[in-house]
Chain A
Amino acid sequence: MFEGKKRTHVISVGTPEKVSYSYDLKQGALLQVWRGQFIDVTEMWKDRGEPQLAKPLGTVLPLSDAPAIAALADKDAAWPDSVAFDDLRNEGYVLDKNKMPTFIYSSNDAEVSDQIAVQNGGGSIDRTLSISNSNGLLYCRIAAGPVIEVLKDNTYSVGNKAYTVKVPADAKAFIRKTKNGQELLAPLAKGTSSLTYSLIW
């Protein structure tokens, strides 16, 4: 479940640092993060597995169910709420030596890999989005919230300090207004490009 809606192509990942997250494979979206125990799968593993819900066992920080990467017609075009089922081809994931996954998919004619790594013993996570073979300029939406406040050192506070993100100095990140507030975007150049940002909460 995310924002009252059952989502069907979501993977939840728990880590030894007791930081967990849920990822929507059909949107390339980091849905939520939480600390504490992993998930309760009673409603998937008991009897017939109804109603097919995995419940986070911790205080969840909701992020976004919108795709992380999009092509925009121009710099002012609205960020898409979702990608159509057939417009994003989820290709699974590869585990690193610590058994942590990097998700792979293709959308907007680009190959995307999305790696989420726990940092500082669970204090934050680093998300690295890498694209290859893109035909044009793409954008990554790093964060969205009612307000985004610029702090020092390329750090931003999102949603009245619900969480902060830190982006590289050369990311060319920018804040823009949306219908409901603000969002933080960064461009991903045509061809091969990569962006790593940290999420601290």
Chain B
Amino acid sequence: MKHSKYLLSFLLFGAGMMTANAQTENQIFPIVTVPIPKEIALEVGGMTFLPNDELAVATRRGEVWIITNPYMKDGQQPKYRLFAHGMHEVLGLNYIKGDLYLTQRAELTRLRDLDGDGEADEYRTMYSWPLSGNYHEYAYGPMLDKDGNMVVTLNLGWIGFGESLSKWHGWMLKFTPDFTMKPFATGFRSPAAFEMNSNGDIFYAENQGDWVGSGNITHVEEGDFVGNPAGLIWADQPGSPVKLRKKDIPDTGEPKYEVAKRVPGLKGPSVWIPHSIMGNSTSGILNYSDHGNMGPFKGQLFVGDQAQSKISRVFLEKVKNVYQGVVFPFREGFSSGILRMNWGSDGSMLVGMTSRGWSSTGKEEYGLQRLTWSGVVPFEVQTVKAQPDGFELEFTMPVDEKTARNAGSYQLSTFTYKYHHIYGSPAINQSARNIKAIVVSPDHKRVRIVLDSLKEGYIHEIRTAGLRSESGNIPLLHNYAYYTLNRIPDGENLTVTAENKPVGEMQVDKTTGAMDHQHMDNMVAAGNKVTGSTAAEKHVTRQPVSWKNGPDKTILLGTKPGLKFDITNLTLKAGTKVKLTFANTDDMLHNFVLTAPGSGNIVGEMVAKMGLDGEKYNFIPNSVKVLAHTVLLQPGKSDTIYFTVPKTPGIYPFICTYPGHYMVMKGQIKVLK
């Protein structure tokens, strides 16, 4: 007894040692929750600051609230007052040239308080566009571009696939100061956010879906076609600057970069945001301008994710006149689904959220939080810049030379996605890259890595788990990043010499033969990687021969909007032979996974550790907790499976294991004796 007590305290001490010098997001970037009065459903659709530092927030329920003191200065609570209401799902709000402008589903609106009583009394329609009435026809904006035009984007409708059911859906539109509409670019699927970088170039956030292998941000220029062909049906209309037509777009499943080579006008992402790892639904973008105070990353973009309630950081560079760059994790743990981010006057970031209809890691239905910076500099890879023969990593503080020179500190690999009409894509053409040389700059703030080869058009995963800081020997706050290499820069290759030859060996997966995907298996969350299930007996699609009298029970399971199964409670006798058909009638990818008692959340969490391989394995982890499952179903598809109800009575949860869905998309089978 005495002995074990001693051991316990020793272990605690040891754990303390391990983490004493590691930085945490919580410590460096504290999140403050802005309280919302109970009677207000602040489902944030748009946010903007007013000149007097009040925060205006537009909601999905068509209201505009004005919040005084969202910073809670002097310990005072924020005050809310209703400025406008009765509008149709406002998903963008901006204070421009002395007025509040917003987008409703059907129009660009200007609000004015004519009589000065603090409430809007003029709801002026500046421009109105057609709608079909489909729920997926969202509208976003406006934003003022560098030439003084307002920019708006219109979502595609959803009818089992993305479709432009009414004019200009799937387009980015610009409005001149006299509100003449000019179609600007198309190929958009779900363009929930856009922002200018410091050069005034426009980037928009796209979500995974049909023709979109993974979320991304893309530089948009006049006449661009950015990928989803649905909007092209309006490309022949007067005023359209887009030359491509629907028939010009091949549906081959080749990487988008390859297709773009022979389809001029098709534009690929500036930065891919790898699905399920860096996010599931790219949302707000915020340029780190002089208004912000968020650590040493000025000039970069912050990119929100609705489903994963987190914010990534993007560094962009222009190579051969094309934008490309790298995405890093930045801050997770927000309370709901992030849609909007704005700089407060104190340099903190106001983060507006909603998760209705699309669930998020943060459990709240909606929320408003403020991200602050403690002033402590995080040890981070600050930028990654492409080199003719590799990459140059720049750090926020000097890096320890010994770890930096060791090839074992890094793992690099390349992959991309399919470009096709199918929803999403597995990571394809994965292969490892080897380091040939490493050069650390004299000030130890930059490290140049020379690779065996670069793959133009591919995403380069750069893992840096072994690196330590020079001072304090701390690990990086985030040790992985994804660089989208649209162009390989010209320049001289580094000569590999005895001096710059790396020390040590790169980390390789020694458990199996060096097949590409097995290397990839090890990339994400190194150490506790979950592999995909290959157990055919858990996915039986033909009636077993031994079922002489057929199934005892036939179940038709469907979906309901808002991430739900249409049946959530089933009661079955132990040993029942079940034929189950799961039909996905929703607009996202779903599966059905029956788990062992008490294991719904456990299985759901395992999927997060499957990394890039998740989709390839239908998001089915290789685990004894998984009893039976369907494949991952495209919208409109179904799968029929056969399984026998377990012999042990109990409650058996079933879930959809698509990342993030398991927390809400679930049901249970009660097994009786």
Q: Is A9 within 8 A of B131, CB to CB? A: yes
A22 beta carbon closer than 8 Å to chain B? no
Contacts of B122 in A (CB 8 A): 92-95
With A92-B123, A95-B121, A97-B115 known as contacts, the answer to whether A49 contacts B357 (CB < 8 A) is yes
Which residue from chain A places its CB closest to the CB of B586 in the assembled complex?
A48
Q: Is B134 within 8 A of A11, CB to CB? A: no
A87 beta carbon closer than 8 Å to chain B? no
Question: Which residues from 121 to 160 on chain A have a C-beta closer than 8 Å to any C-beta of chain B?
Answer: none
Which residue from chain B places its CB closest to the CB of A11 in the assembled complex?
B86
Assuming A8-B133, A91-B124, A92-B125, what are 19 further A-B pairs, CB within 8 angstroms? A8-B132, A9-B131, A25-B125, A25-B128, A26-B128, A45-B61, A47-B562, A48-B135, A48-B136, A48-B561, A48-B562, A49-B60, A50-B135, A51-B133, A90-B107, A95-B121, A97-B115, A99-B121, A101-B123
Q: Is A8 within 8 A of B131, CB to CB? A: yes
CB within 8 A of A47: which of B61, B123, B136, B357?
B357
A23 to chain B, nearest CB (A): 12
Q: Please, how many angstroms separate the alpha-carbon atoms of A57 and B128 in the complex?
A: 28
A15 beta carbon closer than 8 Å to chain B? no
Contacts of A47 in B (CB 8 A): 356-357, 560-562
B109 beta carbon closer than 8 Å to chain A? yes
Q: Mark B74-112, 1 if CB is under 8 A from A, else 0.
A: 000000000000100100000000000000011101100
Q: Is A94 within 8 A of B121, CB to CB? A: yes
Interface residues of A (CB under 8 A from B): 6-9, 11, 25-26, 44-52, 85, 89-97, 99, 101
Q: Please, how many angstroms separate the alpha-carbon atoms of A94 and B112 in the complex?
A: 9
CB within 8 A of B128: which of A9, A96, A101?
A9
A69 to chain B, nearest CB (A): 18
Q: Is B125 within 8 A of A8, CB to CB? A: no
Q: Mark B220-258, 1 if CB is under 8 A from A, else 0.
A: 000000000000000000000000000000000000000
Q: Is the interface of A mostly helix, strand, loop or mixed?
A: loop
With A47-B356, A85-B130 known as contacts, the answer to whether A92 contacts B135 (CB < 8 A) is no
With A47-B357, A48-B562, A97-B115 known as contacts, the answer to whether A6 contacts B125 (CB < 8 A) is no
Contacts of B123 in A (CB 8 A): 92-95, 101
With A85-B130, A91-B124 known as contacts, the answer to whether A50 contacts B561 (CB < 8 A) is yes
B114 beta carbon closer than 8 Å to chain A? yes
Interface residues on B, range: 20 to 34
A102 to chain B, nearest CB (A): 10
Which residue from chain A places its CB closest to the CB of B120 in the assembled complex?
A95
Q: Is B114 within 8 A of A94, CB to CB? A: yes
B81 to chain A, nearest CB (A): 15
Which 9 A-B pairs rank lowest in CB-CB distance, beginning with the nearest?
A47-B562, A48-B357, A8-B131, A92-B125, A95-B121, A6-B133, A92-B124, A50-B135, A92-B123
B330 beta carbon closer than 8 Å to chain A? no
CB within 8 A of B106: which of A9, A46, A93, A94?
A9
Contacts of B114 in A (CB 8 A): 94
Which residue from chain B places its CB closest to the CB of A14 in the assembled complex?
B86
B625 to chain A, nearest CB (A): 29
Q: Please, how many angstroms separate the alpha-carbon atoms of A95 and B122 in the complex?
A: 6
Q: Is B125 within 8 A of A91, CB to CB? A: yes
Q: Please, how many angstroms separate the alpha-carbon atoms of A51 and B131 in the complex?
A: 13
Q: Please, how many angstroms separate the alpha-carbon atoms of A6 and B105 in the complex?
A: 15
Q: Is A52 within 8 A of B133, CB to CB? A: yes
Q: Please, how many angstroms separate the alpha-carbon atoms of A90 and B135 in the complex?
A: 22
Q: Please, how many angstroms separate the alpha-carbon atoms of A45 and B41 in the complex?
A: 11
Q: Is A52 within 8 A of B130, CB to CB? A: no
B358 beta carbon closer than 8 Å to chain A? yes
With A8-B106, A9-B128, A95-B121 known as contacts, the answer to whether A49 contacts B89 (CB < 8 A) is yes
Contacts of A92 in B (CB 8 A): 109-110, 122-125
Q: Is A90 within 8 A of B130, CB to CB? A: no
Which residue from chain B places its CB closest to the CB of A1 in the assembled complex?
B133
Contacts of B125 in A (CB 8 A): 25, 90-92
Q: Is A48 within 8 A of B124, CB to CB? A: no
Contacts of B358 in A (CB 8 A): 48
Contacts of A94 in B (CB 8 A): 114, 121-123
